[in-house]
Amino acid sequence: MVPLMEVKQAETFLAVAEELHFGPAADRLRIAQPPLSRMIKQLERQLGTELFIRSTRNVELTSIGKALIEPARNLVTASHDAIRTVENTMNGKVGHIRMGFAGASTYRSIGDIFRRLREEKPGISLDVQSSMFSPDGLQNVLDKDLDLAIGRWDFLPADLDSHVIAVEDVIVALPPSHRLADAEEVSMKDLAEDSWVSLPVGSGSALQNRLKNLAMASGFVPRITQTAPDSWALMVLVGVESGCAITVSSVRENLPDPGVKFKRIADSPNPPLEVRLIWRKDNMTLAVNAAVNIAKELFPVPE
Return d(Cα 49, Cα 70) in angstroms, integer. 17
On whether the CB atoms of residues 200 and 170 are closer than 8 A, the answer is no
Average pLDDT over residues 119-143: 84
The percentage of the chain sitting over the pLDDT mark of 70, rounded to a whole number, equals 92
Beta carbons of 190 and 264 less than 8 angstroms apart: no
Report percent pLDDT > 90 for the chain. 56
**C-beta neighbour count of 282 within 10 angstroms:** 9
Distance (Å, whole) CA 247 – CA 73 = 61
- Given a cut of 60, whether residue 1 has pLDDT beyond it is no
User: What domains are defined for the chain?
Assistant: 7-90 (1.10.10.10), 94-167+274-298 (3.40.190.10), 170-271 (3.40.190.10)
| Distance of alpha carbon 124 from the chain centroid | 9
Q: CA–CA separation, 101 vs 136, rounded Å?
A: 10
**Averaged pLDDT, 209-233:** 92
Task: For residue 49, give the 3-state DSSP assignment.
Answer: coil
Please report the pLDDT score of residue 125 as a whole number: 85
Structure confidence at residue 302 as a pLDDT band (50, 70, 90): low
Q: Is residue 217 predicted with pLDDT exceeding 90?
A: yes
Tell the burial category of 73 from Cβ atoms under 10 Å away from its Cβ (0-12, 13-18, 19+). Answer: middle
Dump pLDDT digits (tens) for 243-295. 999 999 988 887 777 789 999 999 888 999 999 999 999 999 888 998 999 99
Higher-confidence residue of 5 and 89: namely: 5
**DSSP annotation string for 155-192:** ---TTEEEEEEEEE-EEEEE-TT-TTTT-SEE-GGGGT
